């Protein structure tokens, strides 16, 4: 299981939308053959609520923290398979805001999630982790559980602060990396809510490039009312295969699949997926031409 956390200290930048869109896109690209686990570490449960399928769990992610002996499978349920093929969800819980208190007296605080996920390491191909926008023990756990991280930043002047915060957080957790595991790989930064071209927009990008350098991905998620509309309709954005926002998220998903493949966690499975993704790209082009 390759675990990716979507993280940025700023709220409203599109972390949750990114998690949902990637989970849907991995499912569509693989025709449900990739088995994914969505881990909602935000007490608002914005990413586990819209994926609701046959939710019938005795436990939630809160219980996973509360009881280290609990079998994590008791808190996992299948998402709506029409919208999110192959996806399972570790049930979110609004009591997650109490996790800091819960762990206050424990000697090991930051690696509870990492240890719990180990039990299902061989049952899923990937995990995608949504995070809150505050520096809580929960956020540290999400980062410590991950093999890699990706940072969405909003297209504005202070955008880069969210990325610098993540870098600092990873430095602060240096004890964990020395003792338990290598530090997570930086998969890059991408702009969200990008508006049509303008002079200011170009300047923001130049400033970001100076700080982030080659980690600034060429993928830009456009600003679109479709993001809100799809949520109201209870649909994932990836439902529409040709809308610019879905195409951008598909490009991000394909970039991540390549990094999964290069880590060779799935070997032949990822390679097969790459071939299928190429075919789907051709189909999408055809559909777009027919719509014009
Ligand atoms: N690319 C986008 N275009 C338009 N609205 C967006 C876009 N991305 C996110 N939003 C909207 O912005 C709000 C915050 O997004 P969300 O994904 O919940 O951010 P976060 O998880 O970082 O707090 C939501 O109402 C969402 O629908
Ligand atoms: Mg969110």
Nearest alpha carbon to residue 128 among 260, 280, 270? 260
Element (H, E) at 257: helix 244-263
- Domain extent, residue 64, equals 2-291
- pLDDT at 46 > cutoff 60: yes
pLDDT-derived band at 259 (thresholds 50, 70, 90) equals: confident
**92, 39 contact by CB (below 8 A):** no
Most confidently predicted of 111-115, 230-234, 263-267? 111-115
pLDDT-derived band at 265 (thresholds 50, 70, 90) equals: low
pLDDT score, position 169: 95
pLDDT score, position 120: 97
- Could you give the percent of the chain with pLDDT greater than 70? 93
Backbone angles phi, psi at 150, to 5 degrees: -135, 140
pLDDT score, position 244: 95
pLDDT-derived band at 172 (thresholds 50, 70, 90) equals: very high
User: CB of 230 closer than 6 A to ligand 1?
Assistant: no
Radius of gyration of the chain (CA): 18
Task: Give the number of whichever ligand sits closest to the CA of residue 223.
Answer: 1
CA 50 / ligand 1 centre spacing (Å): 14
- pLDDT at 51 > cutoff 80: no
Share the mean pLDDT of the chain.
89
What confidence tens digit (pLDDT) does each residue in 78-131 have?
999 999 999 999 999 999 999 999 998 888 899 999 999 999 999 999 999 999
Provide long-range contacts, Cβ within 8 A and 24+ apart, for 269-277: 269/33, 269/34, 269/125, 273/29, 273/30, 273/33, 273/34, 276/29, 276/30, 276/31, 277/29
pLDDT score, position 264: 55
β-strands 185-194, 148-154 pairing: parallel
Task: Map residue 82 onto helix, strand or coil.
Answer: coil
Residue with tokens 């060779």: 264
CA 50 / ligand 2 centre spacing (Å): 12
Per-residue b/e over 102-139, b at no fewer than 16 CB within 10 Å? bbeeeeebbbbbbbbbeebeeebbbbbbbbbbeebbbb
CA 21 / ligand 2 centre spacing (Å): 13
Strand order of the β-sheet with 216-222 is 76-78, 87-90, 36-40, 126-130, 2-6, 148-154, 185-194, 216-222
- pLDDT at 18 > cutoff 60: yes
Q: How many domains does the chain have?
A: 1
pLDDT score, position 54: 66
Nearest alpha carbon to residue 59 among 67, 47, 51, 48? 67
Kindly state the average pLDDT of the residues 212-226: 93
Would you tell me the crossing angle of helices 15-29 and 268-291 to the nearest 10 degrees?
A: 100
User: CB of 244 closer than 6 A to ligand 1?
Assistant: no
pLDDT score, position 56: 72
Q: Write the residue with the smallest CA distance to atom 27 of ligand 1.
A: 228
User: CB of 46 closer than 6 A to ligand 1?
Assistant: yes
pLDDT score, position 42: 93
Task: Map residue 76 onto helix, strand or coil.
Answer: strand
Q: What share of the chain is helix, strand, coil (3-state, %, to 5)?
A: 50, 15, 35
**2, 263 contact by CB (below 8 A):** yes
CA 279 / ligand 2 centre spacing (Å): 32
Give the CATH number of the domain where residue 145 resides.
3.40.50.300
- Could you give the percent of the chain with pLDDT greater than 90? 61
Q: What is the pTM of this model?
A: 0.92
Q: Write the residue with the smallest CA distance to atom 16 of ligand 1.
A: 14
Contacts of 196 (CB under 8 A, 6+ apart): none
pLDDT score, position 156: 80
């Amino acid at each position: 299981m390759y675990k990716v956390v979507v993280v940025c200290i700023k709220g409203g930048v599109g972390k949750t939308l990114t998690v949902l869109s990637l989970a849907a896109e991995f499912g569509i690209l693989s025709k449900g053959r990739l088995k994914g686990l969505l881990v909602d570490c935000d007490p608002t449960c914005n990413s586990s609520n819209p994926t609701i399928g046959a939710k019938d769990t005795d436990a939630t992610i809160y219980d996973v923290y509360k009881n280290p002996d609990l079998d994590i499978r008791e808190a996992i349920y299948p998402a709506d398979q029409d919208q999110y093929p192959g996806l399972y969800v570790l049930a979110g819980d609004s009591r997650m805001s109490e996790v800091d208190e819960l762990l206050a007296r424990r000697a090991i605080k930051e690696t509870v999630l990492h240890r719990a996920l180990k039990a299902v390491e061989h049952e899923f191909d990937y995990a995608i982790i949504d995070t809150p926008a505050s520096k809580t023990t929960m956020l540290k756990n999400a980062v410590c559980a991950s093999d890699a991280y990706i940072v969405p930043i909003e297209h504005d002047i202070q955008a880069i602060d969210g990325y610098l915060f993540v870098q600092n957080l990873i430095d602060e957790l240096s004890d964990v990396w020395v003792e338990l595991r290598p530090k997570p790989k930086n998969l890059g930064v991408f702009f969200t809510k990008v508006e049509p071209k303008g002079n200011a927009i170009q300047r923001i990008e130049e400033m970001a490039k100076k700080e982030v350098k080659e980690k600034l991905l060429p993928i830009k998620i456009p600003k679109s009312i479709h993001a809100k509309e799809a949520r109201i309709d209870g649909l994932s954005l990836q439902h529409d295969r040709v809308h610019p926002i879905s195409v951008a998220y598909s490009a991000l998903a394909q970039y991540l699949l390549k990094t999964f493949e290069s880590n060779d966690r799935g070997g032949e499975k990822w390679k097969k997926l790459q071939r299928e993704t190429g075919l789907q790209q051709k189909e999408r082009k055809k559909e777009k031409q027919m719509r014009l």
